[in-house]
Amino acid sequence: MAEVHLIGELVGGSGFSSPNLFCKWGLVVGSAWKILEGQHEGQTQVDHPQDGSFSKWCHPIDIHLATKGLQGWPKLHFEVWDEDMFGRSSLCGYGFCHVPTSPGLHELTCVTWRPTGSFFDQISTFFLGGSPHLKEDSLVYNVTDRQRLRTTSTGTVHLRLGVILRNFDKHGVEVT
């Protein structure tokens, strides 16, 4: 079997309306893939940055995968949340990015968005806080029904990810 090893970190987030952020993340793979070692999902700590411009998470990612085929190449998906002074959490954004297919160290940025909902939802968000959520989280990384969503851009998640490929050449895949 061909193998992929992902080693890196979820560096932080920038451009969000609130600085007190944490991130929930997960790895999505196709049916031909198997996770050999490592956690395929996690959550960072809440960062309360002093300057308010960049939330630093420095959350480790270390996942070892095996595959029988290239279909369903791994994707990382994110949910960024804000924590207010009372400890309440509200959604700031969703996003996803494909794991690079070339070996080496990669600096990745993932733009995020959140649903705006109906006019009533927008009024409720303005006066009461919180924001609309997706009923089905798979809409973040599956494009089937996403075009019908009304969304707004929210910020950027920053990653540093090392990709190691093994035995792809033995299975007829040329790695450059």
Domain assignments of the chain as residue spans, ordered by start = 2-111+155-171
Q: Maximum Cα–Cα distance for the chain, whole Å? A: 59
Q: What's the confidence (pLDDT) of residue 146?
A: 60
More confident position, 119 or 14: 14
pLDDT of 126 > 70? The answer is: no
pLDDT, residue 40, reads 95
Domain 2-111+155-171 belongs to what architecture? Sandwich (2.60)
Q: How would you list the strands of the sheet with 54-67, edge to edge?
A: 33-37, 54-67, 2-14, 151-166, 104-115, 89-98, 75-83, 21-28, 41-43
For residues 88 and 82, what is the distance between their CA atoms, to the nearest angstrom? 8
Q: What pLDDT is stored for residue 17 in this prediction?
A: 85
Query: CB count, 10 Å around CB of 47?
Result: 18
Residues 6 or more apart whose CB falls under 8 angstroms from that of 138 comprise: none
User: Per-residue pLDDT tens for 33-46?
Assistant: 999 999 999 999 99
Q: How far apart (Å, rounded) are the C-alpha atoms in residues 103 and 6?
A: 10
Q: For residue range 79-121, list pLDDT tens digits in order.
A: 999 988 888 888 899 999 999 999 999 999 999 998 876 666 6
At 48-62, the pLDDT tens digits run 888 778 999 999 999
